Amino acid sequence: MTKILVGKVTDIDMKGSRTVRMGDKEIGLFRLSDGEVLAVENKCPHKGGVLSEGMVCGSKVHCPLHDWRIDLHSGAVQAPDHGHVVTYEVEVDRSTGSIYLTLEGSL
């Protein structure tokens, strides 16, 4: 597993997002209203909508194409729709505000 510095908490607005590319993976980083930072695959399983362009509501992001709701903690699509996106482990260093992603394998 590889732990990679991807930015600072202050790089992402509250209830906002940022995109990072790790090799062939595009990952959406989301900052919730409570300050928690979560990371998911940046592609809706329905039609491939770019999740980082969607609206964050609570701990869910709404796909900008067809309003599918994806839980940012689990990656699960909310009913009545179904599907799943990959989630990534995020660590925030509270003393520096640095955001680290943990990825399996090599890039």
Strands 60-62 and 2-8: unpaired
User: For residue 17, which of 45, 1, 36, 44 has the smallest C-alpha distance?
Assistant: 36
Write out the two tokens for 61.
């992001």
Choose the CATH number for 11-89 among 2.102.10.10, 2.60.120.10, 2.30.30.40, 3.90.870.10.
Answer: 2.102.10.10
pLDDT (tens digit, 9 = 90+) per residue, 27-36? 999 999 999 9
Summary mean pLDDT of the chain:
92
More confident residue, 70 or 105: 70
**pLDDT tens, residue by residue, 17-57:** 999 998 888 999 999 999 999 999 999 999 889 999 999 99
Per-residue model confidence (pLDDT) at position 1: 77
Give which of 25, 7, 18 is closest to 104, Cα–Cα.
25
